[in-house]
Chain A
Amino acid sequence: MENNVIIDLKNIAVTFEDEPVLKGINLYIRDGEFVTLLGPSGCGKTTTLRIIAGFLEPNSGDVIFEDKNINGVPPHKRQVNTIFQRYALFPHLNVYENVAFGLRLKKFTEKEIKQTVEEMLTLVNLKGFNKRKIDSLSGGQQQRVAIARALAAKPRVLLLDEPLGALDLKLRKDMQAELKNIQQRLGITFIYVTHDQEEALSMSDTVVVMDGGKIQQIGTPIDIYNEPKNAFVADFIGESNILDGIMRSDYSVEFSGHVFECLDKGFGKDESVDVVVRPEDVDVVSAEQGAISGTVTSVTFKGVHFEIIVDINGFKWMIQSTDQQFVGDKIGILIDPDAIHIMKKSDYSGTFGDYSSFSDEIEQMSNISEGD
């Protein structure tokens, strides 16, 4: 293993009241890396973070920090700091004292404390807020104080538990950029927990997709998006049409009653597979020109593109196109070989990827109920 690994989780399992929450997590994190744990509510991402912070002891498995096993080491003796979901600032202390809290415990001199606090408040653009009370700050400002407070302690690793979840969209975007910027400037390791796939893709060096207490896939944002390992990942990250297919031979796959050329190989002959086609990779043509064709059942204008649902042989495809179509139109589609991604069958096969019951509302509801 490379020696710049800072945190190594080995076979971590956690059970809450007979309910397995983590089932054998293996994950190593390199020094200076921006790692995101991404998954739906209850997937175990926050639990993983709490194990690294030391708030929770795994039932089995080892937590290694720089080659030392830190199982059983209490949180205050770990070189990691956390930014909590609801900031968890000290309401009885002002901004200055909040940021200085960790430094005072570490017995820094008054002069050093003052210097560090000023430095941190400048870093998060809160210069001059020293004497302000916490409850007089906006959500975004409180978030900045929380960041300054955690960074003032000079941690080797910063843990962020859905830190932007409570902010509105515009502020969230700004803070994403700012956090990424801070991480690059200070060069410390960030472990970031979120259920927002866009946030994960745009900020991380490495994305860890989790579900059901297991890691589904680890990879760069581009890998995760382009080469999802199973139907869960393909569906969770972005929009996907996931179809049952059969590998006829290397570079040739049959789905939706048509044999398509693809770039994947190494599957058995006539092996059943899941085929992923991203909605933006589908070319819309006339019904006669298309490799396969069907009827438009719904069109939604999204600003950048139209979101078109097409029924092809009973499977509802989602297509994103800049050309407008109308409900009832017969259209054909073409798919380039590099737009087709083949996955082995998994437990998730058949549970995702058909847009027949698609609704924006359902998706939003599942986002609101986040927060494990």
Chain B
Amino acid sequence: MKRNTSLAARLSSSPYIVWMIIFIIFPLAVVAYYAFTDASGNFTLYNISILSRYTDTFLRSIWFGAIATLICLIISYPLAYIISQITENKQRTIIMLVMLPMWMNFLLRTYSWMLILEDTGIINSWLVKAGLEPFRMINTSSAVILGMVYNYLPYMILPLYSIMSRMDKSVIEAAKDLGGNNATVIKKVVFPLSMPGVISGVTMVFVPSVSTFYISQKLGGGKFTLIGDVIEMQFQTSYNYNLGAAISLVLMVLILGCLFFMNKFADDEEGGILV
């Protein structure tokens, strides 16, 4: 049996491979190339070896990202559940409202928070008017985390809502029917069944939070440099593409490690339903 297995034929029969090569494999290869070469293009491990000086920044980024993700989850979960329980028309309206801020530019949203949180910003001037002491909000770690939560919240709500609204209502009724009060039903049925939504929500918030830049510069006053800011600096100010690429590569590995760990954890918890 003779088959046409020329490279061109195989590529054209599977366009997604071409797609993956152009948009995923090739850029990754470029990043890897820069990470393992010096300015003149010679192979070196130097970039990787000096990363230990950014250990604090790495840890801070992961820590901030984890806190922001957790807060997003705590806010979004009940919200998504409530949204999924109301009438479909109202659901559509509320989901629109949830997505609305995403249509506004990211930088603009972060700037607005500066105006709100500043020492003489909106909140503090209200406090003063009300005869209270103003307090420091801008340039704190809380402000940075707030920025992350605000910007990435919709990415948590949407996957959770999507899985909850597709959940079979009669399964929830069955749990009530068998003697579960609202809390038990959520713990024993809704939560386990919503795990795929939790995983994708956590991924969609954690990954961009860890690698975010700009938020900490504007809301943290430069006191809490995050790894995304360091990468930006390497490319924009220091023009050290090699170091920037090395940091990116290691960050990617760390994030993959975190997600793998989390998936594993969720798997064990739910008896392996998540594949």
Interface residues of A (CB under 8 A from B): 53, 55, 74-76, 80-82, 84-86, 88-92, 101-102, 105-106, 149-150, 153
B170 near A85: Cβ-Cβ < 8 Å: yes
Interface residues of B (CB under 8 A from A): 168, 170-171, 173-181, 184, 188-189, 192-193, 270-271, 273
Partner of B179, one of A88, A89, A92, A153: A153
Bound CA span A53–B189, Å: 19
B176 near A74: Cβ-Cβ < 8 Å: yes
Bound CA span A76–B188, Å: 14
Residues A81 and B177 in contact in the complex (CB < 8 Å), given A88-B168, A88-B170: yes
The smallest C-beta distance from B17 to any residue of chain A, in angstroms, reads: 32
Residues of A within 8 A of B176 (CB): 55, 74-76
The smallest C-beta distance from B230 to any residue of chain A, in angstroms, reads: 42
B179 near A90: Cβ-Cβ < 8 Å: no
A92 near B181: Cβ-Cβ < 8 Å: no
B178 near A102: Cβ-Cβ < 8 Å: yes
The smallest C-beta distance from B194 to any residue of chain A, in angstroms, reads: 10
Beta-carbon nearest neighbor of A104 in chain B: B188
Residues of B within 8 A of A55 (CB): 173, 176-177
Residues A53 and B177 in contact in the complex (CB < 8 Å), given A88-B170, A90-B189, A92-B193: yes
Residues of B within 8 A of A53 (CB): 173, 177
Residues of B within 8 A of A92 (CB): 189, 192-193, 270-271, 273
Bound CA span A225–B3, Å: 70
Bound CA span A90–B174, Å: 9
Beta-carbon nearest neighbor of B273 in chain A: A92
Bound CA span A106–B177, Å: 12
Residues of A within 8 A of B174 (CB): 82, 84, 88-90, 149
The smallest C-beta distance from B243 to any residue of chain A, in angstroms, reads: 46
Bound CA span A53–B173, Å: 10
Residues of B within 8 A of A105 (CB): 178-180, 184
Residues of A within 8 A of B180 (CB): 76, 105
Residues of A within 8 A of B173 (CB): 53, 55, 75, 82, 84, 88
B179 near A82: Cβ-Cβ < 8 Å: no
Bound CA span A334–B143, Å: 93
Residues of B within 8 A of A84 (CB): 170, 173-174
Beta-carbon nearest neighbor of A152 in chain B: B178
The smallest C-beta distance from A35 to any residue of chain B, in angstroms, reads: 19
The smallest C-beta distance from A139 to any residue of chain B, in angstroms, reads: 15
Residues of B within 8 A of A76 (CB): 176-181
Residues of A within 8 A of B273 (CB): 91-92
B170 near A153: Cβ-Cβ < 8 Å: no
The smallest C-beta distance from A53 to any residue of chain B, in angstroms, reads: 6
B178 near A88: Cβ-Cβ < 8 Å: no
* 18 A-B pairs with C-beta separation under 8 A: A53-B177, A74-B176, A74-B181, A76-B176, A76-B177, A82-B177, A84-B173, A86-B168, A89-B174, A90-B189, A91-B171, A91-B193, A92-B270, A92-B273, A102-B178, A106-B179, A153-B178, A153-B179
The smallest C-beta distance from A344 to any residue of chain B, in angstroms, reads: 40
Beta-carbon nearest neighbor of B193 in chain A: A92
The smallest C-beta distance from B180 to any residue of chain A, in angstroms, reads: 6
Residues A101 and B193 in contact in the complex (CB < 8 Å), given A74-B181, A86-B170, A92-B273: no
Residues of A within 8 A of B168 (CB): 86, 88
Bound CA span A55–B270, Å: 28
Residues of B within 8 A of A149 (CB): 174, 178
Beta-carbon nearest neighbor of B192 in chain A: A92
Closest 6 CB pairs of A and B: A102-B178, A88-B170, A88-B174, A105-B179, A75-B176, A84-B170
Residues of B within 8 A of A75 (CB): 173, 176-177
Bound CA span A53–B174, Å: 10
Beta-carbon nearest neighbor of B191 in chain A: A92
Bound CA span A102–B177, Å: 9
Bound CA span A153–B273, Å: 26
Beta-carbon nearest neighbor of A146 in chain B: B174
The smallest C-beta distance from A7 to any residue of chain B, in angstroms, reads: 16
Bound CA span A90–B173, Å: 11
Bound CA span A91–B177, Å: 16
The smallest C-beta distance from B137 to any residue of chain A, in angstroms, reads: 42
Residues of A within 8 A of B184 (CB): 105
Bound CA span A173–B179, Å: 31
The smallest C-beta distance from A248 to any residue of chain B, in angstroms, reads: 55
The smallest C-beta distance from B164 to any residue of chain A, in angstroms, reads: 14
Residues of A within 8 A of B189 (CB): 90, 92
The smallest C-beta distance from A328 to any residue of chain B, in angstroms, reads: 53
Bound CA span A153–B179, Å: 9
Residues of B within 8 A of A80 (CB): 177
Residues of A within 8 A of B177 (CB): 53, 55, 75-76, 80-82, 150
The smallest C-beta distance from B199 to any residue of chain A, in angstroms, reads: 14
Bound CA span A85–B174, Å: 11
The smallest C-beta distance from B241 to any residue of chain A, in angstroms, reads: 47
A101 near B175: Cβ-Cβ < 8 Å: yes
Residues of B within 8 A of A90 (CB): 171, 174-175, 189
**Among B178, B181, B188, residue most surrounded by chain A Cβ atoms (within 10 Å):** B178
Beta-carbon nearest neighbor of A17 in chain B: B87
A102 near B171: Cβ-Cβ < 8 Å: no
